[in-house]
Structure 1
Amino acid sequence: MKTCDIVIPTYNGAQRLRQYVIPALLAQQIPDGWHVRLIVCDDGSENPYRDNETWSYPWQVPKVMTLTHSGISKARNAGITASTADVILFLGDDIILREGALQEHLVFHDQNPDAHQGALGCIVWDPRITPTPFMEWMMHGGQQNDYDAILGASVCDASHFFYGSFVSLKRALIGADSFSEEFTQYGWEDLEFGSRLAVKGFVLTPLHASLALHRHAYSASAILARQRLVGAGIRAVNTTPTRRMRHFLYQVSGARFLMGVFMKMHGNRLNIPWIFQYVTAGEFWYGVYNGPRIPKMFTDRGGLSTELSTNIPQTPSIFAIIVHFGDKAITNRAVVSLQSGTRVPDHIIVIDHGDMADSPLNKGYAAGLAEGIRQAAKLGATGHDLILLMNNDATAEHDGIQGVAQWWTQYGGPSVLAGTTWGSVSLVTGRARIVGNEYTKNFFRIPYVHGAFMALEHGLALNMVFPEELFMYWEDVVVSVRAQKQSVRLMRISSPVVHHDDEKTDTSDQKLYYLVRNGAYVLEHELSYVWRLYWYTVNTVRQIYHRYQNSHTHQIIAEALADARAGRLGAIVIPRLDRGIHVVTIGAVIVTHNSEQYITKCVESLRGEGITDIVVVDSASTDTTLQEVNASQVQVIALSENKGFGYAANKGAQHMNTDYVLFINPDAYLETGALQYAQDLFDGGEKIGVVGLALQDDQGISESAGYGYEPTLMQLMRRQRKSSFRPAHVIPRLDRGIHVDWVSGGAMVVKKAIFDQLGGFDEQFFLYWEDVDFCRRVRQAGYSVWVHPQARAIHIRGASQADTALKTRIYDMSADRYYKKHYSTSIWLLQRILRKIYRIARPEAR
């Protein structure tokens, strides 16, 4: 039986624990084979937390420890000392777990028993506290969590993302270590601990589906005050004379005073990210220079000092990683060159991404490297083992790997990223180029290690956030830039190592698109504010210029620049860029029944997204819906009787000659850009048949009825079927789609050819379950169903039909039909019995 202790340090947080945090914990489902215990460490609160509630714990009796007030580090350490479990989950006293969040962590540790594996949950603001623009900036790219930087990533840097408010790891890895108790205030105590764990080979995996709400409202003044504490709490930073002089001028010029007054007056309502960045950085450095001095341990952004990096092995094991796609003969040549040298790598890992660049296996070069690093960890790589990242079209010299090992023994280390070839990016033109054997850094160039061959320690590789979103090209520039921000040195390996077959030229449209898009995106997002502003202007001018050129090449460049500006990254299907081949068309079908209050806004939102083919099918409305629709000048099909949603939707689809059909409820409307995100999913190379839009109410809370997975029998007992399948939560800012089993017919986009092939919706379903049935048939036909969290539609819940009792009866009939159609008779009968029992036991659900 595995065990997990949930350690919650708290100071004056008893009310939050009783009202929000612990009830959310009690609602969590515990996987079979796990015992869970709660350990509350009260750090000398004025009103200490005491477990005197009458809660029924589904796990072991909690342990409550009352300490003298000594700081958050000492409170966490008390929890570590009291824990005897296999896994410790550190949780903040203002963090409210959403449904399934704890289960995600426990399942992760089931699947990753290695002691070096840990998991990070995702935190968003609790919408009930109405986050200000400043708070949103803090969470998404600012000084708070910066989860946007690891969206879609499979591992993250423990020295930058080890957040003590929602992280789990093995007790065996902690050992005798603990949080440094020199940190008495918030700030850096968890990141410093994560830095020391990273030296042990700790691998931190973000669990994007493990969601929690942060219930802690901050005013602008409170955030700035906390930044001063963070600055004072950091053990040491790279306080160069230039930085000291800049900070001195910031204070004596009165800029700090004026910015502080401005933030107190307007900081809670204005949304000006560059001011947020400026003033929070200023308060941080104020804390650094004016706060209490703390002994030096590590440098800027979590870079490790030699004090934490001793005993480096003189002859490390070598793990070579090659990402294969394209010609297998070329990759085999690279592998043979590694195997035939005087020093053969201890392990050669080849990540197979298929024989074509658009293969479903191909997740991109950076994603392949990240996967290779994870495989190295499974093969026993430790923090100081050497990782070699090599292109599949490169070949190692006979003595190349031996030369790398000798060079690394003399010059390498935990804060070194080395390669055989330098590159540079001009800050004036944005062009990347190889610069030969030597490189002199100046203000107008960004140095980088060319991606044909890179060498770094496994511990550093695990903590690097590889830009998987770029798919291919420019990832070596991003890795180098991010490494330098973490005080990692870029170095050139002087001995000849590899020969790169750069004579073969790839002039494909894909290469042109990726080079332009990724270059524009990187230059606008990875540099300082001044250069970001410069490149924003340059790329805007370029986009306008290329948009109005007629050649095929100019079309691709214009599309690439537009996607870079919009942040549409990942893999693409290049024919979509050629406007002369085919223009994708989409039409909309709206089924109405007494929807006079909402239909006009729905139609207007569709037109705002560029949809001109709109068919409204009215199911015998008795109000003024038809008059409202006729005034909107759309195609109208007026039915003499209400035969259900499926029947009406099929009638509307018969009048569509577009590539895609959007089915949308009349009481829903699209957010700007929603259809572009959906279209990007269809264009992503997957065999996708249906894309659902993320349904939200006007408060930004997602509807659990928007998408989900095949239900269990217990979930079927409830009338609100879809809310049983998936927990409601604030949709995180993901830039990728989610693979699901079904999406709601209230806002779904379907390929018209697939819709016709399957005969549309099953008209035997009057209302409810026709969407789940259709998606099931789509999957059975070999296609997939997706939802994109950024493709949002606002839904006014239940506006089309307010009769709860009638909805319950229709729901039950549709559920019976679905189970009778797709499951055995025994399952169908069992779910009917269970639902009847539920209706009797819960009359309010009828």
Structure 2
Amino acid sequence: MLAHSDGATIFVADNASSDDSVALLAQEFPQVRLIQLADNLGFCRGYNAALDDVRWEGSLVNQLQQKRTPKERGLDWVDTFGFAYYVLLNSDVEVTPGWLRPQRELLESNPRIAACQPKIRQYSENPEERQQFEYAGAGGGYLDELGYPFCRGRLFDTLETDAGQYDDQRPVAWATGACLLVRATAWHELGGLESTFFAHMEEIDLCWRLQNAGYEVWYHGGTTVFHVGGGTLHKSNPRKTYLNFRNGLALVYKNTHPAELPAVLISRVALDWVAALRLLLQGATPDFRAILRAHWHFLKRLSYWRARRRQFPPRLRAAERAGVYQGSLVWAYFAQGRRRFSELPDHLLR
């Protein structure tokens, strides 16, 4: 990463690790700035705390920058706010030469663009597997009419091979948190990630709030990174099931337009129960219980979610947001057998 990050300042946020990674980092990579958090704050609170520290340091850097000529400033990414952009980058992502500059240039070309992601492919030692898209972001994030997330290049468990079909640039509904370039002013304006999510769907929530606030989220297919995926929680872990279902309900409740919320929420609850009963019949009792806990904990914190909804009011209907499929992905995939993004009807895609 240090060799391919185009003059950016690299920070590593240590989420109260218990191994020797901090000592190793200081010894092997002294040029990296280390932010040590006293407790394991999870993905969301950890990033929020770390970027608050980065913001403070960025303001100090900016004071020094103002004393230099534009030519001397070069590629230092600061403005009057501090650092102009943040990159949220997972530790299990392998970057490639030139991966960052095209995304930065995209944001600089349009002040309404607040976030973007590169193409995400699988990290693997197998050359064929490296040609496959990865679950977390693939060719850009979409939502269906009920708020279910999917990607170009990945519908449920079906992954496509990268054959250049998503080498474009376009607005999307969400950009992956595994490798997310975000405008610093927009990040702080909206309060960063939803801290109570802990992990999973937090970037979708942020991108949805960005759109409701008048910003755009983009995908840039001219640059590629490789993601291991599942490093924190495997998809078979009931904890991941719990977070996905709880956060999924909170996601749609917080961000769906008032006129559309009742129908969307009722449908999501009904489909969650169908999924829970299916897991129970399959013998996956821990996952069944995880969904029940997810619904119970969502209801227990309903007053909090309501307050967050008032803080960042949903202003856009589904038809007004980029990256929304005006249909049910569940129906398209399981009932109609549509396994690739290109098989979804064009007239239902925005």
When normalised by structure 2's length, the TM-score is 0.60
Which residue of 263, 270, 274 corresponds with 1:830?
A: 270
Pairing 1:652–2:55 present: no
Q: Larger Rg: 1 or 2? A: 1
In 2: Cα distance, 1:668 partner to 1:683 partner: 24
User: Partner letter of residue 700 of structure 1?
Assistant: Q
Q: How does 1:606-755 map to 2 (within 5 A)?
A: 606-631=2-27, 632-633=29-30, 634-654=32-52, 655-656=54-55, 657=58, 658-685=83-110, 687-698=112-123, 699-706=130-137, 707-713=140-146, 723-724=155-156, 728-730=160-162, 732=164, 736-755=168-187
Q: How does 1:141-290 map to 2 (within 5 A)?
A: none
In 2: Cα distance, 1:841 partner to 1:727 partner: 27
Q: Which residue of 2 aligns with 1:395?
A: none
Q: 1:838 to 1:686 in 2, by over 3 A?
A: farther
8 Å CA contact retained: 2:120, 2:134: yes
In 1: Cα distance, 2:266 partner to 2:19 partner: 44
Local SS of the residue matching 1:694: strand
Q: 1:731 to 1:625 in 2, by over 3 A?
A: farther
Q: Which residue of 2 aligns with 1:394?
A: none
In 2: Cα distance, 1:735 partner to 1:670 partner: 17
Q: 1:625 to 1:808 in 2, by over 3 A?
A: farther
8 Å CA contact retained: 1:737, 1:786: yes
User: Partner letter of residue 17 of structure 2?
Assistant: S
In 1: Cα distance, 2:146 partner to 2:278 partner: 12
Q: How far apart are 1:731 and its partner, in Å?
A: 5.1
Q: How far apart are 1:693 and its partner, in Å?
A: 1.8
In 2: Cα distance, 1:673 partner to 1:643 partner: 32
Q: 1:618 to 1:841 in 2, by over 3 A?
A: farther
Local SS of the residue matching 2:219: strand
8 Å CA contact retained: 1:619, 1:642: yes
Q: 1:842 to 1:687 in 2, by over 3 A?
A: farther
Unaligned runs of 5+ in 1: 1-604
Which residue of 758, 769, 779 corresponds with 2:201?
A: 769
Q: How far apart are 1:783 and its partner, in Å?
A: 1.1
In 1: Cα distance, 2:278 partner to 2:211 partner: 31
8 Å CA contact retained: 1:701, 1:731: no
User: Partner letter of residue 142 of structure 2?
Assistant: Y
Local SS of the residue matching 1:710: strand
Q: How far apart are 1:723 and its partner, in Å?
A: 4.4
Superposition CA RMSD, Å? 2.9
8 Å CA contact retained: 2:13, 2:35: yes
Local SS of the residue matching 1:705: coil
Deviations 1:583-603, CA, capped at 9 Å, x for gaps:
xxxxxxxxxxxxxxxxxxxxx
Q: How far apart are 1:622 and its partner, in Å?
A: 2.6
User: Partner letter of residue 647 of structure 1?
Assistant: R
In 2: Cα distance, 1:677 partner to 1:612 partner: 14
8 Å CA contact retained: 2:6, 2:98: no
Q: 1:754 to 1:683 in 2, by over 3 A?
A: same
Q: Which residue of 2 aligns with 1:559?
A: none
Q: Which residue of 2 aligns with 1:564?
A: none
Q: 1:679 to 1:643 in 2, by over 3 A?
A: same
Deviations 1:548-568, CA, capped at 9 Å, x for gaps:
xxxxxxxxxxxxxxxxxxxxx
Q: 1:842 to 1:836 in 2, by over 3 A?
A: same
In 2: Cα distance, 1:608 partner to 1:714 partner: 35
In 1: Cα distance, 2:46 partner to 2:283 partner: 32
In 2: Cα distance, 1:833 partner to 1:817 partner: 16
Q: How far apart are 1:759 and its partner, in Å?
A: 1.0
Q: 1:767 to 1:623 in 2, by over 3 A?
A: same
Give the paired residue count.
238
User: Partner letter of residue 13 of structure 2?
Assistant: V
User: Partner letter of residue 122 of structure 2?
Assistant: D
Local SS of the residue matching 2:156: helix
Which residue of 225, 246, 261 corresponds with 1:793?
A: 225
Q: How far apart are 1:623 and its partner, in Å?
A: 2.6
In 1: Cα distance, 2:160 partner to 2:51 partner: 31
In 2: Cα distance, 1:767 partner to 1:713 partner: 21
User: Partner letter of residue 804 of structure 1?
Assistant: S
Pairing 1:807–2:240 present: yes
The percentage of counterpart residues that share the same residue type is: 22
Q: 1:843 to 1:687 in 2, by over 3 A?
A: farther
User: Partner letter of residue 240 of structure 2?
Assistant: K
User: Partner letter of residue 840 of structure 1?
Assistant: L
Q: 1:630 to 1:802 in 2, by over 3 A?
A: farther
Higher RCO, Cα 8 Å, sep 6+: 2
8 Å CA contact retained: 2:146, 2:268: no
In 2: Cα distance, 1:754 partner to 1:798 partner: 28
In 2: Cα distance, 1:723 partner to 1:623 partner: 37
When normalised by structure 1's length, the TM-score is 0.26
In 2: Cα distance, 1:837 partner to 1:692 partner: 36
In 1: Cα distance, 2:2 partner to 2:102 partner: 15
8 Å CA contact retained: 1:694, 1:792: yes
In 2: Cα distance, 1:713 partner to 1:695 partner: 24
In 2: Cα distance, 1:649 partner to 1:731 partner: 34
Detail structure 1 runs of 4+ shifted over 6 Å in the superposition.
Answer: none
Q: How far apart are 1:726 and its partner, in Å?
A: 8.5
Q: How does 1:224-623 map to 2 (within 5 A)?
A: 605-623=1-19
